[in-house]
Amino acid sequence: MLRTVFAILASLTSIYAIVCVVRIILTWIPRATFHPATKFLSSVCDPYLDLFHGIRWMRIGGLDFSPAIALCLLGAVSTILSHLANSPVLKLGSVLSLLVQTTGSIVSSVISLLILLFVIRLIMIFVTGGAFSSSSLTYQIDQMLGPVVTSISRTFAGDRQISYKTGLIIAIVTLIVLNLIVQIVFSLCAGMLAGLPL
């Protein structure tokens, strides 16, 4: 009976996570804000998602990655509930391993998204032939990414003046290496914790 309850709760948590993803995607579509279905999703998801908006370290430049934490937490809860549905014994090592995996997943997702945005912006530079454009979209992207690109490239270039394109390339390579290191370290830690006899 208890296993069935855990299985149902795991399914409901997964469904709620999917609903939250839909809500997040709809925030990117300005006209969808006033649709009744969007208002319903807002009333269901926003109280939970708003719990994570105040996390300052999840804001990089003009980008807010706090929804990633909210979704990863739902995923972790769903995984724990699924584990309880299949096995009534939950070891401390398994829980700690899951927390480390979730944290690593959040960090890796944020880094991967930044890499994707930097690559898109770099492609835009190659297509247009210049670093900057009068397009409002390009301007907004540069306003969000500029501080991050500057911080990363300054680490390697020091006070030397470099082009925005070079800064993007330095940032992309740096983040790819950092992402690999993060994945290896978190995977090793999770594996060691999962092996604990507790």
Q: Can you give the pLDDT at residue 176?
A: 94
Question: What mean pLDDT is predicted for residues 122-134?
Answer: 71
Q: Give the residue, 62 or 197, on which the prediction is more confident.
A: 197
Mean of the per-residue pLDDT values of the chain: 81
Whether pTM > 0.95 for this model: the answer is no
Which residues, in sequence order, are CB contacts of 16 under 8 Å at separation 6+? 48, 74
pLDDT on residue 85: 79
Q: Taking 60 as the threshold, does the pLDDT of residue 131 lie above it?
A: no
DSSP the chain: -HHHHHHHHHHHHHHHHHHHHHHHHHTT-GGGGGSHHHHHHHHHHHHHHGGGTT-GGGEETTEE-HHHHHHHHHHHHHHHHHHHHH-S---HHHHHHHHHHHHHHHHHHHHHHHHHHHHHHHHHHHHHTSS--S-HHHHHHHHHHHHHHHHHHHHHHTTS---HHHHHHHHHHHHHHHHHHHHHHHHHHHHHHHT---
Over pLDDT 90: what percentage of the chain? 13
Is it the case that residue 58 has pLDDT exceeding 70? no
Q: What is the pLDDT of residues 156-173, one digit of tens each?
A: 877 788 888 888 888 899
pLDDT recorded at residue 89: 66
Candidate from 100-104, 124-128, 129-133, 194-198 with smallest mean pLDDT: 129-133
Return the bridge partners of 63, or none. Answer: 60
In the chain, % of residues over pLDDT 70: 87
